[in-house]
Structure 1
């Protein structure tokens, strides 16, 4: 596992290691708009997780997920606010994210 001081440092290094797609969280899975792709929870793996605490407010914390998928042999990242997804995603997706969050 790598150690990063900033989110931008993590994203730059992950990009250099092939995690070059940007994923967005949807209620049922992950979406990559640049290549018009949607992945269900069973179609991707979370390879690495990095947490970043807000300087003055813990509510400003973020998480960077390094994600891979056998669907198209893809790698990318998901940046999410810590705990922000809880009410907005399916139970299957929530469980997958939480396993790597704790």
Structure 2
């Protein structure tokens, strides 16, 4: 498993590996604005997960997901965790759970 020191380093490397789409989380799906796509939990899988902790502030913590859709679209999702975590459906929460 690859490891990265910073979120920026991880995003740069994943982009080079073809993870070029930027996903955002909605209540029950992932959204990509370019192209305009919505992915329900059954339409994607998580290839890899990376956690980053803020060096000066623990509230700056985030998780980076490398995601691939069932039709081959590859991208990343950056999500806060802890106090600033996004509100999502139970189905989406289960899909994004780190095991």
Flag structure 2 segments of 5+ consecutive residues without an equivalent.
none
Give yes or no for the alignment of 1:76 onto 2:75.
Answer: yes
Give CA deviations for 1:76-102 in whole Å, capped at 9, x if unaligned.
0001112402xx11100001111x2x5
TM-score between both structures, scaled by the size of structure 2: 0.93
1:14 paired residue number: 14
- Give, in angstroms, the shift of residue 59 of structure 1: 1.6
Regions of 4+ moved over 4 Å: none
TM-score between both structures, scaled by the size of structure 1: 0.90
Flag structure 1 segments of 5+ consecutive residues without an equivalent.
none
CA RMSD of aligned residues (A): 1.0
- Give, in angstroms, the shift of residue 66 of structure 1: 0.1
Count of residues in correspondence between the two structures: 97
2:63 paired residue number: 63
